[in-house]
Amino acid sequence: MRTLPILVVAGVAAAASAAAPADSGDAAIAARVAQEMPRVVAWRRDFHQHPELSNREIRTSGIVAEHLRRLGLEVKTGVAKTGVVAVLEGGRPGPTVALRADMDALPVVEKADVPFRSTVTTTYQGDTVGVMHACGHDAHTAMLMGVAEILAGLRADLPGKVLFIFQPAEEGPPDGEDGGAPLMLKEGVFASGKPDALFGLHVFSTLPAGVIGYRPGPFMAGSDGFRLVVTGRQTHGARPWAGLDPIVVSSQIISALQTVVSRQIDLTQNPAIVTVGTIRGGMRGNIIPDTVEMRGTIRTYDPAQRTDVLARVERTVTHIAAASGATAQFELTGRPNPVTANDPALTQRAVPTLARIAGEGHIREIGLQTPSEDFSYFAREVPSLFFFVGVAQPGVPPAEIADNHSPLFYIDESALPVGVRALTQLTVDYLTGRMQ
């Protein structure tokens, strides 16, 4: 079993005090964060043990809404199906800062050996699947709940407003449903007025615990989901010449799709990714089926590149199938995610705050990241900053660290105070004019 850090108030307070400068405002916030951490850890472990898939975050959103109401905030539920939005009114007029956390889990069977491991199962796309917070949204939700508690305690001294956005379906809604950030915007999450700034974070496995990674401008890739159906002709597995094997054709397509990136795209301009994540075809080893279905994802960084890659993928799929006498249907699925881009001016203003709370050597400007985020929809509407907080366990070789979306994904909880303090301090600094 992994060794779990035991977060007690005294231990966290000591760490927070060591990182805090002499400024009494920073020190006071650090102390509040330390006091809140046992509850943040408890929330995170509870959410982890009881994960819920996209648009099904009923228990999670109920706990969030109850907590926000207890703080005396104006709370709205049922936004984009299961989302929760709350407003904290400061003690005097001023700007509005929005903070966002996502709540949904993934259809993954957990293999991480922790005492709060998920054993939840449910139905997803017709299959019985395990459910796991394999991307850290449990931590995001718990941290923002902690931030809300801290800021509520400061409300009399805060100018302006804080808008808390607890978002469902960041990983994408189920087939045939709407959801996530686009639906929240459609339903008017900013109807009462667009925020002056929006901050969000994501725990990330490739950075050491407590290290903050950021990038001005384009940060995370745009994404498109796709579905391929290759149609051949069913026959006996012992007589392949009597039919047309869509499995062989599909294997040729999968191999050829990798050349779109490796041989057809100028990767010195921007990275690109084409991944086939599922392949389904056939029911028995001695039957060649009629059809094979594949699903995957495409990642790009600008609109022209996206158009080019999509055209090349479709051409590759249909021509290889035709060369074998089969047919192939290529279609995009779900909602695309635009590139997540950080507002350069806001990022420049925010970096000193992040550096102050992270401590020397614990903040890094990092390169383009190929995961995608529907935070990008919010970022197209208001000046935004999205950053990473590392959660890799110290002393574990990088090759042994499980990536986000892995069944072994693990969060070193010593990183949680950094995330809570970052969102809290960014909000306070922006509202009080300290962020210049």
Percent of the chain with pLDDT over 70: 94
pLDDT computed for residue 13 by the predictor: 38
What is the per-residue pLDDT for 4? 53
Assigned CATH class of 222-336: alpha beta
Check if 400 is active-site.
no
- Residue 8 pLDDT > 60: no
- How many Å apart are CA 431 and CA 28, to the nearest integer? 17
Residue type, position 231, single letter: T
Lowest model confidence (mean pLDDT) among 10-24, 141-155, 337-351: 10-24
* Mean pLDDT, residues 12-32 taken together: 58
Contact (CB, 8 A) for 309 and 272:
yes
pLDDT at residue 27 above 50? yes
What is the per-residue pLDDT for 76?
98
Which residues lie across from 89 on neighbouring strands?
Answer: 161
Q: Work out the average pLDDT over 160-176.
A: 96
User: Band of the pLDDT at 126, cuts 50, 70, 90?
Assistant: confident
Instruction: Tell whether the model's pLDDT for residue 124 goes beyond 70.
Output: yes
List Cβ neighbours of 385 (8 Å cut-off, separation of 6 or more): 197, 198, 199, 200, 214, 342, 343, 346, 347, 350, 426
Report domain 9-219+339-432's class. alpha beta
Give the residue-averaged pLDDT of 92-113.
Answer: 98
pLDDT at position 125: 82
Per-position b or e across 353-387, b if 16+ CB within 10 A of its CB = bbebbbbeebbbebeebbbbbbbbbbbeebbbbbb
For all residues of the chain together, what is the average pLDDT?
Answer: 94
> 3, exposed or middle or buried, with CB in 10 Å at 0-12, 13-18, 19+?
exposed
Query: What is the model's pLDDT at position 22?
Result: 34
CA distance 388 to 307: 28
Give 132-148 pLDDT, tens digit per residue: 999 999 999 999 999 99
Radius of gyration of the chain (CA): 23
d(CA 19, CA 420): 14
Q: Using the predicted structure, report yes or no on whether residue 345 has a pLDDT greater than 80.
A: yes
Q: How confident is the model at residue 7 (pLDDT cuts 50, 70, 90)?
A: very low
CA angle centred on 376, ends 401 and 337, rounded to 5°: 80
Instruction: Please report which confidence band the pLDDT of residue 25 belongs to, taking 50, 70 and 90 as the band edges.
Output: confident
pLDDT for 257: 98
Its pTM stands at: 0.91
* Residues 169-194 pLDDT 10s: 999 999 899 999 999 999 999 999 99
Residue 15 burial (C-beta neighbours within 10 Å; 0-12, 13-18, 19+): buried
Domain ranges of the chain: 9-219+339-432, 222-336
The pLDDT of residue 2: 54
Catalytic residue among 170, 245, 374, 413: 170
pLDDT over 80 at 325, yes or no: yes
pLDDT in tens, 377-402: 999 999 999 999 999 999 999 999 99
Q: In CATH terms, are 9-219+339-432 and 222-336 the same topology?
A: no
Distance CA 89, CA 192 (A): 13
Statement: residue 9 has pLDDT above 90:
no
What is the model's pLDDT at position 199? 99
pLDDT of 15 higher than 60: no
pLDDT in tens, 417-428: 999 999 999 999
260-319 pLDDT per residue, tens: 999 999 999 999 999 999 999 999 999 999 999 999 999 999 999 999 999 999 999 999
- Residue 170 known to be catalytic: yes
Catalytic residue among 57, 104, 412, 413: 104
Q: H/E/C letters for each residue in the chain? A: CCCCCCCCHHHHHHHHHHHCCCCHHHHHHHHHHHHHHHHHHHHHHHHHHCCCCCCCCHHHHHHHHHHHHHCCCEEEEEECCCEEEEEEECCEEEEEEEEEEECCCECCCCCCCCCCCCCCEEEECCEEEECECCCCHHHHHHHHHHHHHHHHHCHHHCEEEEEEEEECCCCCCCCCCCCHHHHHHHCCCCCCCCCCEEEEEEEEEEEECCCEEECCEEEECEEEEEEEEEECECEECCCHHHCECHHHHHHHHHHHHHHHHHHHCCCCCCCCEEEEEEEECCCCCCEECCEEEEEEEEEECCHHHHHHHHHHHHHHHHHHHHHCCCEEEEEEEEEEECCEEECHHHHHHHHHHHHHHHCCCCEEECCCECCCCCHHHHHCCCCEEEEEEEEECCCCCHHHCCCCCCCCCCCCHHHHHHHHHHHHHHHHHHHHCCCC
